[in-house]
Chain A
Amino acid sequence: MSDEVRGEWPLYEVFVRGKRGLNHVHVGSLHAPDDAMAVRHARDVYTRRNEGVSIWVVRSDAITASSPDEKDPLFAPSGDKVYRHPTFYEIPDNVPHM
């Protein structure tokens, strides 16, 4: 619809680590004039109830994405390699700890 409305703050994607030991997970996006303000806004918008111990923000236009289509040929190489999964291998029931 429109590309860059003049003067609009750039868009950032926000990633929050819920607690120690977990990955940062994408939670949404927001607008901010710069990186430092993006972190502050992310705190106010996405962690009002102790939802995080760490925040990453990154300009949306800095992200390179694969095509979202699940039939994408990008993912085809892993489609036919069933031997990468443990269930591919038959082990007798009487073999423990495997």
Chain B
Amino acid sequence: MSSAVAEPELAAQFDATVRRKDRIEPRDWMPDAYRKTVVRQVAQHAHSEIIGMQPEGQWIGRAPSLRRKAILLAKVQDEAGHGLYLYSATETLGVSRDELTEMLISGRQKYSSIFNYPALSYADVGTIGWLVDGAAICNQVPLCRTSFGPYGRAMIRICKEESFHQRQGFELLMTMMRGTDEQRAMVQESVNRFWWPALMMFGPPDDASPNTEQSMAWGIKTHTNDELRQRFVDMSVPQAKALGVTFPDPDLKWNEERQAHDFGQPDWDEFWDVVKGNGPCNAQRIAHRKQACDDGAWVREAAMAFAEKQKVATA
């Protein structure tokens, strides 16, 4: 009952903390809606890292050299690590790991739609590093200053590691571009497939993103979807030029007046269709995650039983 009396004061303290761009920590009082929004966003982010291991993971055994295998293995292992940082940030708000896994498998929580597109050729490993991780970095760097402390701290660790991901992808593509005509065509074909889905990673346009305004007021998000998409396009164009590939957008051109690139809109109907579960790989991704969870159950149980037995033995 005492909390009901104090709530307006607690809310005022919360607002003041957010206003002076200080961080909210797990045991602070926070509005229920803030808590729900952080859980939704951070969990979605964690799930994306975990599901994100799949498209590239399939290429570890088929990478063309030991060097490329080692790099890809390290990268996919990083994605697992990123998922774990973010799950632990989510758990500070009282959601359990099992609940989070269950919400991913049952589809109650989402992950980034980009991972519902397949990695069809080895060039895709490079394109995913360059464009998909590049877009992720654009999204993630501002999140290092997000208002929820554990989320910001996880993002700082993640951003340090993502830079390797993007650079290894770009280097892979550069190597292929120095190869045969067939390899160059493979890179261009891959870029053509990933460009639009990469732009979709920033989420729907601002006027169709109902949560953005509140998330920005709370300091959870610091930039709108369209701002970040613009930044990504402006960063990517000179990189594509250096690489010698083009983006499949006839409307993409420099706008001298805005000092920024004009560009076309992704197919938002396709975006919503993939979000709703109808992308090329939605069912496969979830089935694979569920199988990994089910197949690993006996290991988790055995480790727990062993720990219990040791405890009894030393007691």
Do A and B assemble together? Answer: yes
Q: Which residues of B contact A71 (CB under 8 A)?
A: 13
Contact of A68 among B25, B77, B85 (CB under 8 A): B25
- Smallest CB-CB separation from B297: which chain A residue? A7
Counting residue pairs across A and B whose Cβ atoms lie within 8 Å, the total is 69
- The size class of the interface chain A forms with chain B is 20 to 34
B98 within 8 A of A: yes
User: Could you tell me if B300 and A7 are in contact, using CB atoms closer than 8 angstroms?
Assistant: yes
- The size class of the interface chain B forms with chain A is 35 or more
User: Could you tell me if A28 and B154 are in contact, using CB atoms closer than 8 angstroms?
Assistant: yes
Q: A7-B301, A45-B81 are in contact. Are A29 and B27 (CB under 8 A)?
A: no
- Contact sample, A vs B, 25 pairs, CB 8 Å cutoff: A1-B94, A1-B99, A2-B95, A2-B96, A2-B99, A5-B97, A5-B99, A7-B98, A7-B301, A9-B300, A28-B85, A28-B88, A28-B150, A29-B91, A30-B88, A33-B303, A34-B307, A34-B310, A37-B307, A45-B84, A48-B74, A48-B77, A48-B161, A68-B28, A69-B29
Q: A2-B95, A29-B91, A29-B92 are in contact. List 20 more A-B contacts (CB 8 A).
A: A1-B94, A1-B95, A2-B94, A5-B98, A5-B99, A8-B98, A9-B304, A30-B88, A31-B97, A33-B300, A33-B304, A34-B303, A34-B306, A34-B310, A34-B311, A48-B81, A48-B161, A65-B27, A67-B27, A68-B28
